[in-house]
Amino acid sequence: MIRVEQLHFSYGKQPVLCGIDLEVKRGEIISILGPNGCGKSTLLRLLRGILTPDQGRVLWQGQDASRLGRRTMAQQVAVVPQSTQTPFSYPVREIVAMGRFARQSGFFGTTAGDRRAVDMALEVTDTVHLARRPVTDLSGGELQRVLLARALAQQTPVLLLDEVTSHLDIDHRLEIAELLVRLNREQGTTVVQVSHDLDQAAEISERILLLGRNGTPEALGSPMEVYTSANLRRVFRVEVKVDCNPYTGTPRVYPVGR
């Protein structure tokens, strides 16, 4: 579905990503992990065609991402960004309804289908009670769920998530993880997420891309294949112990020192 071939990218003279090869398969959940500053968010922007590679290509079903129009790309992928700043005090429902832009053919207001999509997105993200509130009055966690609702209202086959659970408390973090799995299993939604939560990534992901500090791929495979003490020590520069979650069987990581 999405193919990344020998991707290199720099900001000015500063290399950020070096030699990324990746194929995102239709209907999978893949997590991109690595230390701060290793290029994870930049990789998401390259996947969307917002940035153009210095070398290599990003292809969506054979088409160059940087050459797809904004509306075409918005019909393929919805994004939940890392930043939660909103300068205008729109009501929550209006923010979520903005996700329908790529599905509208003109300036004739929302349709019944648009309203159903917005209602469903509010419901599954537990934000119905926030619908009338200005987004500027929300907490970081509430706003993150609203931004996810906007992405879900877009009804795209692919979701790109940049640390979507970083501001959430434990119950909503679990809800979002379960929601992503449910969207993937029931609707076939492809999910690419950037995360710092190694355990959550292991719980929901079929594959993990582990980036090193210089933006090079250090490991790619299933959580069991990627989560080795040697891999994690090399990337994060800490000693870790890896064992299995007794309830799910997925790997679980414990930092034990530098």
For the chain, give the percent of residues with pLDDT over 70: 95
As a whole number, mean pLDDT of residues 219-247 equals 96
CATH value at residue 221: 3.40.50.300
Decide: helix, strand or coil at residue 210: strand
Q: Is there a domain that residue 43 lies in?
A: yes
pLDDT at 102 over 90: no
pLDDT at 107 over 80: no
Q: Is there a domain that residue 142 lies in?
A: no
Q: Is there a domain that residue 60 lies in?
A: yes
Which residue reads 């930049």 in tokens? 42
Q: Is there a domain that residue 236 lies in?
A: yes
φ/ψ of residue 102, rounded to 5: -70, -15
Q: Is there a domain that residue 28 lies in?
A: yes
pLDDT at 108 over 60: no
Q: Is there a domain that residue 74 lies in?
A: yes
Amino acid at 5: E
Q: Is there a domain that residue 149 lies in?
A: no
Q: How many domains does the chain have?
A: 1
Q: How far apart are CA 146 and CA 93, in angstroms?
A: 9
Domain extent for 72? 2-83+157-257
Q: Is there a domain that residue 238 lies in?
A: yes
